Amino acid sequence: MGGFHSLQGRYVTIKSSLTPKNLLARCKPWILSPLVGALGGGCAQLLGWPLPWMIGALVSVAALRCLGCLTSPMPYGIKVGQWIIATGIGLHFNQTVLEQILGHLGLVLVGTLLTVFTCVIGIILHRHYGESFATAYFASMPGGASEMVNLGRPHGAELQHVAASHSLRMMLVLVGIPSVYTWLFAGEQAIIAPLSNPDVGWLVLLFVCGGLVALVFQHWRLPNAWQLGALLVSSLFSINFNLHISLPDGAGEVGQWLLGSSLGCHFERSFFRRAPAFMLRTLLATVAAVFLVVPIALLMSWISSLDMRTLVLGMVPGGIAEMSLIAEALGLLVPLVTAMQVLRLLLVLFLAEPVFRFWQSCLREK
């Protein structure tokens, strides 16, 4: 009888441990992110969304976290996603495209500088409603969230507001721009032809070299090390050896899924409840900046004969991978978008803090 009761007790213990709640508790805290992201990406593809595996994954994981399940990003998800996507983006570079970009380099630089100046809208708006100059400045700069938080920390910026502002801007641009482009330019002719079939030997070499360079960049603490390292190697090889190859079918979708599932973990209910007036001002400043980009792109297109749709994507305050993927999906000039986004990132990283110090000293003198 004692043995029977012992077995019965073990059965009850095992049965109680197999409830959904206990199973979730035993899982790794990140396990739901890729699973829900894959489900969201698949549904988005069935619904015909643009960039379905990135946007669908991002929205579904963000919705899960807003429902109270605070799952965390998959380990190395962002790095691997950036590694795959940046390698694919770099394959769009070739000698002809490089000559075209270099031929209009001065114009591209001026256009990129003008779009950086659109951040003044956000600075003025936040300052008008009482935010400190440091918070308003670093929350409005069109750079990455982690980089602006690091730059704003020693100057007393409110770091939660800075991080929230950049996360919201990224989500708005990533979700809104592809939908608007798909609606406005449906049926428009693609500028570039699709790349040819993949070459396993070259791709293995590109991924290995790109990973090694990314590790060096990471050791040097450069921002977006895995994205910039893979992009640098892939584009240099593609230009010098005139590769004209592509990633295998499905590889780009895997990269989008990894990136979208990780980016969705930036959002939860407290994010949207945090300083709603501040978030609304960020929304208005982002929309205003995008609208200001359009006439600049039209003027640049008229001067240079470059495609206006491509120029807009290169100048909107989005990320390198995100805007380049939109260009790729629409058949636009991916290298031009990538070059403009990288150039803006470098300008912001190198100039943001010196300009802040100069501007702050001018305000003190007044």
Q: Residue range 18-43: average pLDDT?
A: 74
Contact yes or no for 214/221 (Cβ under 8 A): no
Cα dihedral 315, 294, 266, 248, rounded to 10, equals: -60
- Please give the residue that has the higher pLDDT: either 7 or 313: 313
Q: Give the number of other Cβ atoms within 10 Å of residue 260's Cβ.
A: 32
Q: Residue range 237-248: average pLDDT?
A: 91
Most confident range (mean pLDDT) of 34-43, 138-147, 326-335 is: 34-43
- Please give the residue that has the higher pLDDT: either 256 or 198: 256
- pLDDT for 181 equals 82
Burial state string for 118-140 with b = 16 or more CB within 10 A and e = fewer than 16: bbebbbebbbeeebebbbbbbbb
Structure-block tokens of residue 256: 């989008």
Residues 294-320: pLDDT tens digits? 999 999 999 988 889 999 999 998 888
CA distance 336 to 318: 14
Q: Is the pLDDT of residue 11 over 60?
A: no
Q: What percent of the chain has pLDDT over 70?
A: 89
Spell out the residues 6+ positions from residue 310 whose beta carbon is closer than 8 angstroms to its own. Answer: 191, 327, 332, 333, 336, 337
CA distance 137 to 154: 13
Q: Residue range 157-172: average pLDDT?
A: 88
Q: Is the pLDDT of residue 143 over 90?
A: no
* pLDDT, averaged across the chain: 85
Residue in this structure with the two tokens 């959904």, named with its chain if needed:
20
Model confidence band, residue 6 (pLDDT cutoffs 50, 70, 90): low
Spell out the residues 6+ positions from residue 112 whose beta carbon is closer than 8 angstroms to its own. Answer: 314, 315, 340, 343, 344, 347
Structure-block tokens of residue 244: 């004209």
Give SS3 for 9: helix
Q: Is the pLDDT of residue 194 over 70?
A: no
Each as own residue / partner, the long-range contacts of residues 36-41 (CB below 8 Å, 24 or more positions apart, any chain) are: 36/60, 36/61, 36/64, 36/71, 36/261, 37/61, 37/257, 37/260, 37/261, 37/264, 38/257, 38/261, 40/260, 41/253, 41/256, 41/257, 41/260
Give SS3 for 129: coil
Structure-block tokens of residue 246: 């592509």
Give SS3 for 73: coil
- pLDDT for 205 equals 97
- pLDDT for 26 equals 54
Mean pLDDT check: name the lowest of 85-89, 121-125, 129-133, 147-151.
147-151
Q: Where are the domains of the chain?
A: 74-365
CA distance 127 to 142: 17
For residue 343, which phi and psi values (nearest 5 degrees)?
-60, -45
Contact yes or no for 264/65 (Cβ under 8 A): yes
Q: How far is CA 172 from the centre of its chain?
A: 11
CA distance 327 to 101: 16
Q: Is the pLDDT of residue 366 over 70?
A: no
CA distance 126 to 69: 32
The pTM is what? 0.84
- pLDDT for 22 equals 52
Residues 199-219: pLDDT tens digits? 899 999 999 999 999 999 999
